[in-house]
Structures are given as C-alpha cells and as structure tokens.
Amino acid sequence: MRSGFYLIAIAGLLLGNGTAEVEAETIRVTIEKMAFVPAEIEARVGDTIEWVNKDIFVHTATAKGDWDVLIPAKGGTASLALRETGPVDYYCRFHPNMKGRISVAAP
C-alpha cells in the first residue's frame, strides 16, 4: 500500500499541476541608422524590451497615450516591462519616421 502512495506522489511531482511557468525574457531592439531593428517583434506580458541606441542622437520609444521611454545617445540603453496584451505601435518623438510594433501575447 505504501509503495502505491509513493508512486502517486512521484507522479504528481513529475507531472506538476498541469501549468508550466514561462520565464520572462528580455528582448533587445537596436537603434541604428535612425531605425528600430527589428521594427516588429513578438513578446509576452512580463517580458522586458531593452532598446540599445547605436546612433549619435537621443531617441524615444513612445506609445501614444501609454508610455514614453527616453533612450540616451550612442551606447545608451533603456527598458520597459510589458504589462498588457495586444499590438503596440510606437515611434520616436524626436524622429517620427522611426516606427516599431510589438505584438504582446499572454504569458
């Protein structure tokens, strides 16, 4: 009888509770030659977007009515943790022709 209990306990540990935790990732977007590279990315809620600026100009990553991240010039970095699902279009306030899109899925 005891061996049956141990088998059930071991099976429970191996199978878990049916949910798998997804670790948040850091997704890097490079800014070079006045562009976000890559311009379109896929991410999950909880992931962090890190922008690395290789240009000599200061840039922003701005989502209208939502967030505005200042990214220092030449070698500067800035980051933002994603909190909501859905598509997010963003741009640089100083250089509006610079555009990016993040498709944010549930974790």
Residue 75, domain CATH: 2.60.40.420
User: Quick check: is 50 in a domain?
Assistant: yes
User: Quick check: is 2 in a domain?
Assistant: no
Torsion of CA 55, 91, 61, 56, to 10 degrees: 10
Q: Which element (helix H / strand E) includes 91?
A: strand 86-91
Q: What is the pLDDT of residue 4?
A: 46
The C-alpha angle 78, 42, 16, rounded to 5 degrees, equals 105
Q: What is the pLDDT of residue 21?
A: 66
Residue 20 pLDDT grade (very low, low, confident, very high; cuts 50, 70, 90): low
46-98 pLDDT per residue, tens: 999 999 999 999 999 999 999 999 999 999 999 999 999 999 999 999 999 99
Number of domains present in the structure of the chain = 1
User: Quick check: is 3 in a domain?
Assistant: no
Q: What is the pLDDT of residue 19?
A: 53
User: Quick check: is 38 in a domain?
Assistant: yes
User: Quick check: is 13 in a domain?
Assistant: no
